Amino acid sequence: MTVAFRNVTKTFADGTTALDSLDLSFASGELVVILGPSGCGKSTACRILAGLETPSSGTVEVDGKDVTNLPPRERGMSMVFQSYALYPHKTVFENIAYPLRVRGTPKAELVRAVHEVAAMLQLERLLERRPRQLSGGEAQRVAVARALVWKPQICLMDEPLSNLDALLRLKTRIELKRLHAELGQTFVFVTHDQEEAMSLGTRIAVLNRGALVQFGTPQEIYHQPATRFVAEFIGKPASNTLEGELVEGSFRCGALVVPLRADAATVSATLPASGRVVLAIRPEAVRLHEVAGPGTVAMTVEVVDAVPPDTILSLVCAGASILVRTQAPPANLVVGATVHVSFPLSALSFFELESGARLR
Ligand code: ATP
């Protein structure tokens, strides 16, 4: 089974274009995360897949079949929202059982299915409680159980963890990951939290202003960002991006000069010989040296931010500033000290200045 958005555009009555020619397809059994900043069109994409919203143009296909105009209940999908609503007067058991009751599932099968999903989500001892007797995390798990109990082909989750505190969010995320591996169903998970996306997704679709900017594995998104936007959106802290000039086999941004050839390796072959570009490098990829050497740049420590086990250094030189993340900061590091940095060639990405498209 495959899911495909084909050239889907959604423009609302007030003229807002929430999705712009979205082309995205994936196979069954994946956990696809739709990631992007607030307002980029994530929920709209999810609602169109569920059938709660109709595209202005384009089609949605499931298993090669056009479902664009199929009502939600005929799509074999369930959905968990951020503001999930449990029935307050029903027990946890009855809340979870509800989708099976409306489908007329025989009693013995219903009881078995509810217990099975409750066991997976560690809800068995809570089955007789009412929603008001649950913690936020427990109630959230009940909403997930209700969405999964009838074994939908696809489970859509729109920011389902955002009401939870940080620790519970992490625990539920791990639970979801385990559940996905166990069930083998297709999950589509919407979030604006890149860390959540990186941890959960088998693949991540990054949206920006209604357009798909990259669809890839967490590794690809992290190490090979397709655009400057992705480089600056992903990572904690995100990639350093520096606007500068390609000159004679090196990249220059103020006093910062990065040689693009070293021994056998060269990156300049795939770049224009000259002109303005954007260089990106992850904060943890920058190397720190105690003394100056070939290819190093002297920078001044502006801020030292200890976030155990990491230390985040804010470094400046004339015309450039970068963040460095390290677990082995130089000894006696103080604000105002000079450190020497180098940029390994394999860790560099380059983007066009105007379009932000990846050059290398
Ligand atoms: P968030 O993370 O904040 O929930 P999102 O990425 O899910 O955002 P959407 O809810 O899909 O974004 O909205 C995309 C754009 O469409 C936004 O600019 C939003 O204001 C707009 N929008 C959404 N629903 C409507 C509507 N019914 N009428 C007009 N504009 C809408």
Q: State in words which class domain 3-233 has.
A: alpha beta
**Strands (DSSP E) along 46-185, which ranges?**
57-62, 65-66, 77-81, 154-158
pLDDT tens-digit series, residues 103-141: 999 999 999 999 999 988 889 999 999 999 998 888 888
* CA–CA dist 134, 138 (Å, integer): 6
> Which residue carries 């999964």 as its tokens?
148
For residue 192, pLDDT beyond 80: yes
**Residue whose CB lies within 8 A of the most ligand 1 atoms, among 11, 35, 42, for a mutation test:** 42
- Helix or strand holding residue 100 (H, E): helix 92-102
For residue 350, pLDDT beyond 90: yes
On the 0-12 / 13-18 / 19+ scale of CB atoms within 10 A, 145 is buried
Long-range contacts, 48-53 (Cβ 8 Å, 24+): 48/5, 48/8, 48/10, 48/19, 49/3, 49/5, 49/77, 49/154, 49/156, 49/188, 50/75, 50/77, 50/79, 50/156, 51/75, 51/77, 52/79, 53/10
* CA–CA dist 142, 147 (Å, integer): 9
Instruction: Give residue limits of the domains in the chain.
Output: 3-233, 242-352
* pLDDT for res 140: 86
* pLDDT for res 248: 84
* pLDDT for res 268: 63
Q: Which residue CA neighbors atom 15 of ligand 1 most closely?
A: 18
* pLDDT for res 120: 83
* CA–CA dist 266, 264 (Å, integer): 7
Pairing of strands 211-216, 338-342: unpaired
* pLDDT for res 266: 66
Alpha carbon of 43 to ligand 1 centroid (Å): 7
Side by side, the strands of the sheet bearing 320-326 are 287-289, 338-342, 297-307, 310-317, 320-326
Select the more confidently predicted residue: 183 or 209: 209
Q: Which atom of ligand 1 is nearest to the CA of 190?
A: 7
What are the residues whose beta carbons fall under 8 Å from the beta carbon of 357, sequence distance 6 or more? 226, 227, 351
Give me the amino acid identity at 335. Answer: V
Which three-class secondary structure state does DSSP give residue 65? strand
* pLDDT for res 84: 72
pLDDT tens-digit series, residues 66-116: 999 999 988 889 988 877 789 999 999 999 999 999 999 999 999 999 999
Alpha carbon of 96 to ligand 1 centroid (Å): 30
* pLDDT for res 165: 79
Residue in 154, 17, 132, 183 with CA at minimum distance from that of residue 80: 154
* pLDDT for res 331: 80
Partnered with residue 247 across adjacent β-strands are 250
Alpha carbon of 73 to ligand 1 centroid (Å): 23
Please provide the size of the chain in residues: 360
* pLDDT for res 326: 95
**Residue whose CB lies within 8 A of the most ligand 1 atoms, among 35, 43, 83, 159, for a mutation test:** 43
Highest-confidence segment of 28-37, 154-163, 178-187:
28-37
Which pLDDT band holds residue 238 (cuts at 50, 70, 90)? very high
Which pLDDT band holds residue 21 (cuts at 50, 70, 90)? very high
Work out the percent of the chain whose per-residue pLDDT is above 90: 70
Alpha carbon of 115 to ligand 1 centroid (Å): 37
Alpha carbon of 58 to ligand 1 centroid (Å): 18
Where does ligand 1 bind, in terms of residues with CB under 6 Å?
12, 14, 16, 18, 36, 38-44, 192
For residue 13, pLDDT beyond 60: yes
Alpha carbon of 46 to ligand 1 centroid (Å): 11
The superfamily (CATH) of domain 242-352 is Nucleic acid-binding proteins (2.40.50.140)
Structure tokens belonging to residue 252: 């220059």
